[in-house]
Amino acid sequence: MRTLVILMLLAVLVMAATCYESRESMESHEYLNPFISRRRASDFIQADTRLGAISQERIRERTKAAYERQREICEDYYPCELYAFRHGYPAAYKHYFGRRR
């Protein structure tokens, strides 16, 4: 019985020594709150450049090049798309839609 008590005390001491939270681990802010807000997560990106990039992307979406518009028109029409796989989109657009103008 006496050895059981000594082994239990020894086990408790080993557990306390290995599971001790050091001061260094408590210094981290992530210990108390592991998640950060969206604002803090994207602080390194300047707001002006993000808004500028978004507006430039919107402008590019509105003003597409002529070949891009032709390609989209051709992709919507299945025979034109099949023709484009063999001969290319400019030739397919000219073949199916070039005579209409």
Q: Digits of tens for pLDDT over the chain (101 positions)?
A: 889 899 999 998 888 777 766 666 555 555 566 677 766 766 666 656 666 777 777 776 677 788 888 888 888 999 999 999 999 999 999 999 886 65
User: Does the residue 72 lie in any domain?
Assistant: yes
**Beta carbons within 10 angstroms of residue 94's beta carbon:** 14
User: Does the residue 45 lie in any domain?
Assistant: no
User: Does the residue 2 lie in any domain?
Assistant: no
List, in order, residues 6 or more apart from 79 with CB less than 8 Å away: 96
DSSP code, position 33:
-
Total tally of structural domains belonging to the chain: 1
User: Does the residue 3 lie in any domain?
Assistant: no
User: Does the residue 87 lie in any domain?
Assistant: yes
Please give the backbone phi and psi of residue 43, each rounded to the nearest 5 degrees, phi first: -65, -30
Domain that holds residue 84: 66-100
Maximal CA-CA distance, the chain: 104
User: Does the residue 30 lie in any domain?
Assistant: no
User: Does the residue 49 lie in any domain?
Assistant: no
User: Does the residue 91 lie in any domain?
Assistant: yes
The verdict on pTM exceeding 0.75 is no
Instruction: Give the number of C-alpha atoms closer than 13 A to the C-alpha of residue 97, restricted to the C-beta side.
Output: 21
Asked if residues 83 and 92 have their Cβ atoms less than 8 Å apart, the reply is: yes
